[in-house]
Amino acid sequence: MLETCIITQEKLQIHSVTPSDRYKSSPSNFPLLHIGFQVAAMAVQFAASATFLTSLLALATTLATCNTEGDILYKQRQVWRDANNVLESWDPTLVNPCTWLHITCNNDNSVIRVDLGNAGLSGSLIPDLGGLKNLRFLMLFENNLTGSIPSSLGNLKSLMNLELQKNALSGAIPASLGNIKTLQFLRLNGNMLTGKLPQEILSLVAVGNLSEL
pLDDT digits (tens, 9 = 90+) for 149-165: 999 999 999 999 999 99
pLDDT value for 44: 52
Looking at domain 51-206, what is its CATH homologous superfamily?
A: Ribonuclease Inhibitor (3.80.10.10)
**Residues in the chain, how many?**
213
pLDDT digits (tens, 9 = 90+) for 180-208: 999 999 999 999 999 999 999 998 887 66
Domains of the chain by residue range: 51-206
pLDDT value for 94: 87
